[in-house]
Structures are given as structure tokens and as C-alpha cells.
Chains A and B, each alone.
Chain A
Amino acid sequence: QKEVEQDPGPLSVPEGAIVSLNCTYSNSAFQYFMWYRQYSRKGPELLMYTYSSGNKEDGRFTAQVDKSSKYISLFIRDSQPSDSATYLCAMCLGGYQKVTFGTGTKLQVIP
């Protein structure tokens, strides 16, 4: 079993839709959770990070962490064609600790 599981997609949605991206993980000791956006042939860009359980909102993006279920989510409201990219979840035990990435979900927002 992989430490972090993420559906590779692709996920196609119409412009304006609410997008839900998810990851599950097996290591209950993970404390920090991150979402990265990666455009084709580019390096990942940090979108959101959260510590432990709870929600965090930043503009159209909301990150949720449910440590009891070992499940994290990223919601994108009013999705735009420019949101089309691969979204990687990532998590780690703590500072200076190795970060484990999901395989990424490819999202396509259709105008």
C-alpha cells in the first residue's frame, strides 16, 4: 500500500464548477499537509498548507484535513480554465522531515 493515494484522473469539469480533489494516506503521524499545482513541464507551485485537522480557505481554494479518516481534500470554487493543471497533495511528519507526495490528479476545466 502506498503511503499516499491520489486518483490520477483526469478530471474534466465545466467552467464555474466546484472541484473536489482528494488524497488518502496511511501514516497517522503526518502533521503537515500541502497542496501543490503543477502545470505541464513546470515545477510544482505551493497552493495551500495546513497543520493537523481543520479547514483553511484562501480565495477560491479551501483545504480540508480529516486526520481521523486520514483524508484530505482541496476544493476549488468557480473553477477557471487557468486552473487546468495537475494537483499534488503532499504531507510530512514535521519540520525538516521528508515530504511524501501523491501522484497528482490531472484537472481540466472546460470553457
Chain B
Amino acid sequence: GAVVSQHPSRVICKSGTSVKIECRSLDFQATTMFWYRQFPKQSLMLMATSNEGSKATYEQGVEKDKFLINHASLTLSTLTVTSAHPEDSSFYICSVLPPTGPQTNEQYFGPGTRLTVT
């Protein structure tokens, strides 16, 4: 499978600060990347679809001003959690759609970033 990296793997921050999470596609150029959030014992919830060179598409209920997404290159997308609060503590996972992926929606996931807001 494709290699996707995320940085950092774990971050602890204080309430009110901002945190940036990077997602890199190491095997291919990815026009489309996805950002998910996963709470304990719950399913992956899609937050937004990140498209290189254009604005991200956010799912209903996800605040675009709070979760800033920048897909500046074909191998890098960033998610910035602004003014983080304890309820934002979660496991954030990105995925990439390879060039052959759109037909089948095969997504390759990064290892995830554990965010804890104190």
C-alpha cells in the first residue's frame, strides 16, 4: 500500500492554542486528501476533503474557521486546529486518494495524530 506520513504523531497543547498537523503522501502525488477524526470506540468521521490548489470541502457540522486546511502541494496537506479546546481532543487521521483511486475510492491512511488539549 501507499505510504502516508503524519506529523506529529502525538501532541499535547493548552486550551486556546493552535495546533498544526501535517499529512504527506510519500509514494505519489495526491490531488485529493481527506481529514478524519476518530473518537474512542467510534467510527472514522470525515471532516473535510482537501483538494490541491483549491478550497477544502467541509462536512456538515465541521467549522471551517476552526479547522483550517491547506493543500499547498500535491504531497502535503495541513490541518490547523485553531483555538483548541478539550472537546477537540481526538485522533486525527488523514488519507490520500491515489491517481487510480477515484474509480474505487481506495484510500490510504496516515498513522494518525493524537491530539490532547488540556
Tell me, yes or no, whether A binds B. Answer: yes
Q: Point out residues on A near B: beta carbons under 8 Å.
A: 4, 8, 32, 34, 36, 41-46, 49, 51, 88, 92, 94-99, 101-104
Contacts of B102 in A (CB 8 A): 95-96
Contacts of A41 in B (CB 8 A): 91, 112, 114
Residues of B close to A92: CB separation below 8 A? 105
Contacts of A104 in B (CB 8 A): 43
Would you call B111 and A101 a contact (CB within 8 A)? no
Q: Which residue of A lies closest to B2 (CB)?
A: A46
CA distance A75 to B59 in the complex (A): 33
A99 contacts B105, C-beta separation under 8 Å: yes
When distances are taken between beta carbons in the complex, the residues of chain A under 8 Å from B32 are 96
Instruction: Compute how far the CA of A99 lies from the CA of B93 in the bound complex, rounded to whole angstroms.
Output: 14
Chain A residues positioned under 8 Å from B95 (CB to CB): 43
Q: Is the CB of B104 within 8 A of A97?
A: no
Interface centre among A34, A44, A46, A99 (most CB of B within 10 A): A44
